[in-house]
Structure 1
């Protein structure tokens, strides 16, 4: 049981990552999970098109994450955070590889999600109203199901060979060395990695000093601060959003130039050591579909001595406005004997990038001292943080402060960042806390009471690991139950007997204003006698827009699907809303036709509660 590799697809990827975390850091007793020491050791994970809603990956379990370039489901490729999200959290000896597979979609890695292979219905998850130059079926870059499955199997096997068998010969297929597996042909597969024998040279943050460029926020709604403005066509897996924007603690360096030769100098807060490294490795993003962005790379030590390391050329990935193709390419320049003679590599102060193309854009994700090999991984003794949720009554007035239950287990001390969104303003407060097992972590939340009907309100607290800690359950807080009665709802006729061509109309009225939109559905039911209004008797555009139905074949309104009722909503703070049904005038002589409807009002749990019944009659106009 010490030679275990877990493979998970989609949400299963996040599942196996959590299983690996729980195996190393025991979950609290209140959670489901194995009790006591485990009898197995998970050597690595393969995560295929995975979700990572928590953005708290297991830092000390090696991983390979396959990012499908045409993923139509997890389209932001948030699985990139299985690599990026481990930086600086623990020792950094576990290799975390990201494998970008151009032209692969989400579903075809699973034969049960692949048309022609599955027993149940299945689809190609990438779809577009207009042809997509990268991902539409039949394009040069799009992979067929069999080719995608072959490539996925090859890189899964490579991970098993490296993590379980310990065969370092396959590492260059996974770690950004630029080697490729011919058995995966014709798939175009690219890799980069963090961890293993890398030492941190540069991880951009607020304390990073930049000359000629700027520190940019990976997740921000403000164009001036964001690495990629929200209006950018296409996206970046590195900048996949979490729960909030802006989000502190996630930065890169943005470069933009209109002539060659002006260097961009990037300096960490204090000098770093690259003494044991063979190369300087950088992860650099350039815009999709660009080629030949050239940069010279140099280092400056603490004494001001400068040495040029060499030049790199970077091509962008194939991309469109539907793909997340702003992805970091790993490039390396050697720390040659000449460089070692010129510089004190134990005290490197600045990384210098000089554009050699006439114009361009670059985003620098990070820089590392790199040397070959895959070190054995021993999980650090870290504190584990789990945030829970309590349930309280809202109350009728004032504000009460409750403490969110936060459990800290494990060993040692570390730092986490706590996020507290305001339910009214949407503003998010955040602070960094030091956590130790046994310490009380104070996360207060205020619950405001009133006497107006509302839905149950969640006051949230979310936690992310920063350094020297892991996070299990990341999302908790306080659930305040609404304890005020719902208003009385009536549905009174405004025009319930009309001539065809006119609109039937009723008014939904609340006995008092409330703090939420009161939503309801008017569900059509069989009439008690006589002809019933049909799909040919109402305005066809209204029928399509409001009920999602076509007029033909002709059928009574009561025979529409049960979920095709007519939606009506009274806005928060108001007391009335009208619901109308426009009828259609025709040249046929007909008897009076009628309809019958029951209003179903949704409660705080989004459960439909039966309300008043109404009828309407339409007279012939001929």
Structure 2
């Protein structure tokens, strides 16, 4: 959900990621210091305090921060410091960083991980010029229509009903709070026998709307306070639900407002909680469809097939349903989850979804998850399990934003306030609301309906007439209208022959002429930051335009997709991929396919020739431009996260390779003979045919888990905190996974990143994280060991929780009486701490008159002499110090008077031992 226009954006995702803030997560924020603690830097609505291992930065907002799928970031003087933790009312954001730059901060503001753009917040950048290929995409080629329209209503009338078991009906361990159990049901009237079930999960949107009766009484975000109503986001997918139900499918759309309300505190931004909620609803439907009960009695007994289930998740719901499919497999596959459709999803932790059919929908004009990080689900899963038989695809929809797939997030359709998440100038290319290439809300919803309904009818109902919608041939649904859609597909294993994924260097002699082929991954980091072993693919200030290569927020050191960058300076360049013996007969395949895209740093217009050579030396040559626009730059001017650099499909029908002996294909060549110089990226070369494959929960894969560990900090040197990463059973083939420490590590916890490879028979490995000890009293520190991007395994407990327990005694605080003279001005009561502490030691008290009178003889330091005087006084001792401030102001006059006294009654102390209440005496000696 996106609720701010782009005029409120201030920094690109790319710059955020490049500065390495992915390891700073909201989940691991240390215990905050007491309010009385000193501020080492402060400004308008923000302050900085020293805490264990670094500095805590806090920003306070006048109004709650918007509810978005992206993660909140705090930026200091234009530099991102990390992911912030939000308070329950979303008015306070905090993070801890070891970066001393915060001590010199002049400006602190909130930005979002998914924001495009590099302009200062609150300033419009005006209308950007059109990109060089925008005109092409307005008239882009269109494939033929599908023989049937997946968005059309079918023969069944649709009955709807809702169920509501309460706002706090189920406990979600991944959230630490209770959630509502509420859903809308769409049923095909008169359908006989058990029907496939499709469950929809909405994403992160505002939770309640209206005005609270007592706005100051309750900061608890869920259930909605009196006077407010829950936003019915779960009712926003009627189009796709009715299209499916009218064609014989059972559909349930569920509410997740409680998760949205509380997931700012979740270690994984709520992915596990959303998965648990999906499985909780499936458990209810298992009961209601077998023995009945609940609100429906026996109405659904025998009507639902829970061994044929599909899940659609929008926004953070996309990550939730991906996690639900894996969690279901981890638990033995009790539900037959066979198809998953993440719609404009987040992917904060680089999870994979093997075994099940998957299609990821990527809206090109997404103004919330605008880095299109859902692309990683496809990239990471496509080769994550050897022998995986499920198909997968990505569906890029030009002109579509994040919100409008849900009518309850769409202005003019929603019951609560909503907006266009893209924002910006209305006529701005290519995504402004009134730009010719931008889809209206109804057009976008029609596209969403066509692809959601088509995908589940194909995968759950095996309605093969919809296969061309997802196999890369881009056949169109009539109901999708003018929408320009590009599909990238990985055919099932039985329907394809992989030749080269271009993720490893080519053998010697494979490249000739004035050309080079280099394996690359990621984008160029700023100077001074550690560079990866693999060369980076491109230089950009904004990873919003590089969806294949953006760093994941909870797994920032996990390598991104590796591809080959082909660069040439002459028309004689050749990249030759040899076809091994035994794989040369390609007659059974429909097409030669690969993924490709132009390099924005290369020639504006580029092309390649694909040449297929047989054993007799006969060849057929096909220009890429003749069959695909994969090498046409995507729309948009450079900057603001555009144009997107997305690998797209090149598909050459095998039947078009005239004169070639298809039973004896020896090589596939990429030739540079069409353009004198250029640069392109290529990936995933092979032969394939459309196919459904086999899709089912991947229950046979070993499950990978990280342990939870705690260690005492120790007094000196480095303590070793040992996590164990374990597999549920031995494997006959190697299993690998990436593991890295993540959280507000500061200087206390070592940042580690490892690629763990489990040899056959091996079931556990140790990951050691160093922890620096000291003798100072400190806060306990929480952080995570995150597992990501496994190969030949499933992620079970993918977040291991680490706890560094402070083992030093709390120091004792001594406060003394004050003796001073009238002319002294600001003076301190004596303050002494028995030992230095890593905490702020804060204390407060109230001034009481004696013979001295406030505002006549003394006052508080902050008293400006107007209004009612605030008699409270706060004091502090900075971390690492043993003395501090407890100040009052002595007022001078020219009148001779006797010695006078006043009292300071200390009532609160944090971070030190002191017997309370304690009354201190201030004595003022006259100097006139």
TM-score (norm 2): 0.51
Task: For 1:424-439, list aligned pairs within 5 A.
Answer: 424=747, 428-434=752-758, 439=763
CA distance in 2, matches of 1:364, 1:171: 25
The reply to whether residue 218 of structure 1 matches residue 522 of structure 2 is yes
CA distance in 1, matches of 2:340, 2:728: 24
Offset of residue 427 of structure 1: 5.6
The reply to whether residue 236 of structure 1 matches residue 546 of structure 2 is yes
The reply to whether residue 256 of structure 1 matches residue 570 of structure 2 is no
The reply to whether residue 297 of structure 1 matches residue 592 of structure 2 is no
The reply to whether residue 111 of structure 1 matches residue 407 of structure 2 is yes
Offset of residue 167 of structure 1: 1.6
Aligned to 2:498: 200
Aligned to 2:463: 167
Q: 1:41 to 1:569 in 2, by over 3 A?
A: farther
Offset of residue 401 of structure 1: 3.6
Mapped contact 1:384–1:410 kept (Cα < 8 A): yes
SS of residue in 1 equivalent to 2:608: strand
CA distance in 2, matches of 1:490, 1:260: 80
CA distance in 2, matches of 1:291, 1:172: 31
SS of residue in 2 equivalent to 1:396: coil
SS of residue in 2 equivalent to 1:397: coil
SS of residue in 1 equivalent to 2:453: helix
CA distance in 2, matches of 1:557, 1:63: 65
Q: Would you tell me which structure has more strand in proportion to its own residues?
A: 1
1:46 alignment partner, one of 341, 353, 369: 341
Offset of residue 327 of structure 1: 0.9
Offset of residue 363 of structure 1: 1.2
Aligned to 1:562: none
The reply to whether residue 85 of structure 1 matches residue 396 of structure 2 is no
Q: 1:488 to 1:384 in 2, by over 3 A?
A: same
Offset of residue 438 of structure 1: 7.8
Mapped contact 2:427–2:434 kept (Cα < 8 A): no
Q: Deviations over 1:312-333 (max 9, x none)?
A: 1232221352336111110112
SS of residue in 2 equivalent to 1:479: strand
Q: Deviations over 1:389-409 (max 9, x none)?
A: 222322223444443243422
Task: For 1:313-332, list aligned pairs within 5 A.
Answer: 313=625, 314-319=631-636, 320-323=638-641, 325-332=644-651
CA distance in 1, matches of 2:830, 2:415: 49
The reply to whether residue 5 of structure 1 matches residue 310 of structure 2 is yes
Aligned to 1:419: 739
SS of residue in 2 equivalent to 1:140: coil
Q: 1:330 to 1:402 in 2, by over 3 A?
A: same
Mapped contact 2:339–2:695 kept (Cα < 8 A): no
Q: Deviations over 1:359-411 (max 9, x none)?
A: 44311132221112322335663212122322232222344444324342267
Offset of residue 505 of structure 1: 13
The reply to whether residue 450 of structure 1 matches residue 450 of structure 2 is no
Q: 1:132 to 1:458 in 2, by over 3 A?
A: farther
Task: For 1:509-520, list aligned pairs within 5 A.
Answer: none
Mapped contact 1:409–1:438 kept (Cα < 8 A): no
SS of residue in 1 equivalent to 2:321: helix
Q: 1:489 to 1:275 in 2, by over 3 A?
A: farther
Q: 1:296 to 1:476 in 2, by over 3 A?
A: same
The reply to whether residue 470 of structure 1 matches residue 766 of structure 2 is no
Q: Deviations over 1:520-553 (max 9, x none)?
A: 9999x999999x99x9x89xxxxxxxxxxxxxxx
Residue correspondences, number:
554
Offset of residue 166 of structure 1: 0.7
Q: Deviations over 1:11-33 (max 9, x none)?
A: 2111111222223332xxxxxxx
Offset of residue 236 of structure 1: 1.9
CA distance in 2, matches of 1:3, 1:192: 25
Q: 1:460 to 1:116 in 2, by over 3 A?
A: same
Task: For 1:282-431, list aligned pairs within 5 A.
Answer: 282-286=594-598, 293-299=606-612, 307-313=619-625, 314-319=631-636, 320-323=638-641, 325-335=644-654, 338=658, 340-341=660-661, 344-345=664-665, 348=667, 351-354=669-672, 356-377=674-695, 381-409=700-728, 412-413=731-732, 414-421=734-741, 424=747, 428-431=752-755
Q: 1:491 to 1:434 in 2, by over 3 A?
A: same
Offset of residue 268 of structure 1: 8.6
SS of residue in 1 equivalent to 2:788: strand
1:66 alignment partner, one of 361, 365, 370: 361
Q: Deviations over 1:28-73 (max 9, x none)?
A: xxxxxxxx651x3123112111112232221111011111112222
CA distance in 2, matches of 1:469, 1:321: 38
1:279 alignment partner, one of 586, 591, 596: 591
CA distance in 2, matches of 1:156, 1:448: 51
| Residues 365-374 or 121-130, more deviating | 121-130
Structure 2 segments unaligned to the other structure (5+ residues): 1-304, 526-530, 626-630, 817-825, 888-905, 919-928
CA distance in 2, matches of 1:396, 1:97: 54
SS of residue in 2 equivalent to 1:238: coil
Q: Deviations over 1:127-167 (max 9, x none)?
A: 45998532232222333322222211111011022111112
CA distance in 2, matches of 1:150, 1:3: 25
Offset of residue 419 of structure 1: 2.7
Q: Which fold has the larger relative contact order, with Cα–Cα distance below 8 Å and residues 6 or more apart in sequence?
A: 2
Offset of residue 247 of structure 1: 3.9
CA distance in 2, matches of 1:339, 1:578: 90
Mapped contact 1:49–1:71 kept (Cα < 8 A): yes
Q: CA RMSD in A?
A: 5.1
Mapped contact 1:299–1:351 kept (Cα < 8 A): yes
Structure 1 segments unaligned to the other structure (5+ residues): 27-35, 493-502, 539-553, 559-565, 581-597, 604-609, 613-622
Aligned to 2:477: 181
SS of residue in 1 equivalent to 2:475: coil
SS of residue in 1 equivalent to 2:319: helix
Mapped contact 1:207–1:269 kept (Cα < 8 A): no
CA distance in 2, matches of 1:390, 1:74: 33
Q: 1:204 to 1:526 in 2, by over 3 A?
A: farther
CA distance in 1, matches of 2:577, 2:886: 63
CA distance in 2, matches of 1:579, 1:172: 75
Q: 1:145 to 1:509 in 2, by over 3 A?
A: farther
Offset of residue 484 of structure 1: 3.2
Q: 1:440 to 1:245 in 2, by over 3 A?
A: closer
TM-score (norm 1): 0.73
Aligned to 2:263: none
CA distance in 2, matches of 1:103, 1:508: 64
CA distance in 1, matches of 2:365, 2:467: 25
| Residues 141-150 or 505-514, more deviating | 505-514
CA distance in 1, matches of 2:828, 2:398: 54
Q: 1:44 to 1:428 in 2, by over 3 A?
A: same
Task: For 1:436-585, list aligned pairs within 5 A.
Answer: 439-458=763-782, 460-476=784-800, 478-484=802-808
SS of residue in 2 equivalent to 1:159: helix
Mapped contact 2:730–2:763 kept (Cα < 8 A): no
SS of residue in 2 equivalent to 1:213: strand
Aligned to 1:587: none
